Amino acid sequence: MANSVLDMVFPSVDGKDVVARFDGGDITSDAGLLLVSEADRKLGLTKLMAASIDDHRDQDQVNHKMIELVRERTYAICAGYEDANDLTTLRHDPMLKTACDRLPSSGEPLGSQPTISRLENAVGRKDLLRIGTCIAERVVSQLPMDTRQVIIDVDPTDDPCHGQQELEFFNGYYDEHCYLPIHVHVTGGDGRQRLLCSLLRPGKAGPTLGLFGVLRRAIKLLRKRLPDARIILRGDSAFGTGEVIQFCQEAGIDFILGLKGNSRLHTLSTPVQMDACLKYKREGNGCREYGEFAYKAGPWKEHQRVVIKAEITRGELNPRFVVTSLAEKTPEEVYEFYCGRGEQENRIKEMKLDLGSGRTSCHRFLANQFRLLIHAAACVLMGVLQQSLEGTKWAKAQVGTIRLGLLKVGARIVETCRKAWVHLPTAFPEKAAWYHLHSVLSG
């Protein structure tokens, strides 16, 4: 007789009732965590992260090693469980346990939500610095050795707050109480944009708060691996300041930065803007004019090359300015190169929407920074899967698409005396992608 509490009765098929209940045993809906753990083993990321944390617990009373807790939290985010509360039940999942080097048949589950929360609140400033550094080191290690040019993209984004978190402030631009993390991505010779760093900042932080410290460490790592590579900093008009330009010059790197318009810039670019207006009058929409001139703002130490793009959009003149040290490119090439920074916005959206990086709801600021670093680690691991899928139809798939199509796979796990069998669906349509990933990641 069906239990109305446990059983779900569906329409009958050929005279037989269809009844569902959650009693399948060692079955997982996230078999793809096998691939995530394999990517992690190849990169060695969570092992380094765990080693970066000073563990002050009484080791005689510890049930969960630090590396297990870091992996559990990171892998769960990769699978789409960004809320630590999900671990209340997910810690029993046979595949998550297997990915964290704990057999499904072991009586001890993974860490609970309170255990994870205690970890998040126990991490200190030095731990966070070491974790951030090891993530950056692993990312830089993925850049091809024949890279001749590295682009560093920087961009802040809003992280809405909904409580009394430390250092959350009202931000007038975003019209909300928030944090204002800054994300740094690097692009090497293979053209793949990789997350290097995510730094949590107070909600009303200025554009350069924390920027130069992050860039110094990034430049040091890049020059250690790629001593002859040219490094270019790229950012929007929030970073088009004399302070940033001076930093780039002193660090020996190039820059291409947006520049906010002002009356002097409009005066110097009048001929180009007039040409755009005349061209629009003759040819209509879609006309663009490019030009350049030397410009020195009051606080700047010397004149810099400024490029203008002028076009008519919706019947109005819309000039845009870029300041750069790139002397070899034409004005049009400079602006097109600058527009490439839009790809970083896609990567940031991917991290926020597909990996839930906005779950910075702890009270302590440092705990929220640790959460952001865990999400960054998940992003790096998913990036390894993306890179490993080159040459397949999944080559340009975003994180959410890869998770839905390749990681969210049901499987039955059976242990024998010598093996743990993961029985995947016979009719699974993406077998070829799984075989491909296994070959690349285990090679």
Mean pLDDT value across residues 44-59:
94
Site of tokens 């203008």 = 308
Mean pLDDT value across residues 70-86:
96
Q: Which residues contact 321 (CB under 8 A, 6 or more apart)?
A: 237, 258, 259, 260, 261, 265, 269, 306, 307, 308
Where does residue 112 rank: exposed (0-12), middle (13-18), buried (19+ CB within 10 A)?
A: middle
Residue 391's alpha-carbon distances to 152, 286, 357, 395, 440, in angstroms, are 26, 35, 29, 6, 11
pLDDT for 257 beyond 90: yes
Residue 200's pLDDT is 98
Q: Which residues contact 263 (CB under 8 A, 6 or more apart)?
A: none
Model confidence band, residue 6 (pLDDT cutoffs 50, 70, 90):
confident
Pick the range with the lowest mean pLDDT from 309-318, 373-382, 392-401.
309-318
Q: pLDDT of 139-186, one tens digit each? A: 999 999 999 999 999 999 999 998 889 999 999 999 999 999 999 999
Identify which of 307, 375, 334, 366 has the alpha carbon closest to the alpha carbon of residue 157: 375
Residue 433's pLDDT is 96
Strand, helix or coil for residue 43: helix
Q: What is the 3-state secondary structure (H, E, C) of 71-110?
A: HHHHHHHHCCCCCHHHHHHHCCCHHHHHHCCCCCCCCCCC
Residue with more model confidence, 403 or 313: 403
Mean pLDDT value across residues 51-64:
90
Q: Are 322 and 257 in contact (CB under 8 A)?
A: yes
pLDDT for 285 beyond 80: no
Q: pLDDT of 190-247, one tens digit each? A: 999 999 999 999 999 999 999 999 999 999 999 999 999 999 999 999 999 999 999 9
Q: Characterise 395 by phi-psi region: left (phi > 0), alpha (psi -120 to 50), beta (else).
A: alpha
Mean pLDDT value across residues 22-29:
84
DSSP 385-416: HHHHTTTSTTTT--HHHHIIIII---EEEEE-
Max intra-chain CA distance, the chain: 85
Mean pLDDT value across residues 121-129:
96
Q: Are 27 and 412 in contact (CB under 8 A)?
A: yes
pLDDT for 5 beyond 70: no
pLDDT for 17 beyond 90: no
Q: What gap in Å lies between CA 374 and CA 362, rounded to an integer?
A: 14
Q: What gap in Å lies between CA 385 and CA 268, rounded to an integer?
A: 48
Residue 368's pLDDT is 97
pLDDT for 351 beyond 90: yes
Q: Are 197 and 132 in contact (CB under 8 A)?
A: yes
Task: Give me 281's structure tokens.
Answer: 């009058």
Q: What gap in Å lies between CA 299 and CA 152, rounded to an integer?
A: 24
Task: Give me 358's structure tokens.
Answer: 């906005």
Whole-number mean pLDDT of the chain?
A: 94
Q: Which residues contact 371 (CB under 8 A, 6 or more apart)?
A: 120, 359, 360, 362
Task: Give me 370's structure tokens.
Answer: 């640790």
Q: What gap in Å lies between CA 70 and CA 30, rounded to an integer?
A: 18
Considering the chain, what percentage of its residues have pLDDT values greater than 90? Answer: 83
Number of helices (H), then strands (E), belonging to the chain: the values are 16, 16
Q: Characterise 25 by phi-psi region: left (phi > 0), alpha (psi -120 to 50), beta (else).
A: left
Q: Starting from the edge strand earliest in sequence, which strands make up the sheet with 288-295, in order?
A: 193-199, 182-187, 149-156, 230-235, 254-259, 316-324, 304-313, 288-295
Q: Hey, how many other C-beta atoms are within 10 angstroms of the C-beta on 187?
A: 21
Q: Are 369 and 200 in contact (CB under 8 A)?
A: yes
Considering the chain, what percentage of its residues have pLDDT values greater than 70? Answer: 99
Q: Hey, how many other C-beta atoms are within 10 angstroms of the C-beta on 55?
A: 15
Residue 25's pLDDT is 77
Residue 2's pLDDT is 44
Residue 1's pLDDT is 40
pLDDT for 3 beyond 70: no
pLDDT for 4 beyond 50: no
Q: What gap in Å lies between CA 98 and CA 387, rounded to an integer?
A: 24
Pick the range with the lowest mean pLDDT from 91-100, 167-176, 188-197, 414-423.
414-423
pLDDT for 412 beyond 50: yes
pTM comes to: 0.93
Site of tokens 């034409």 = 330
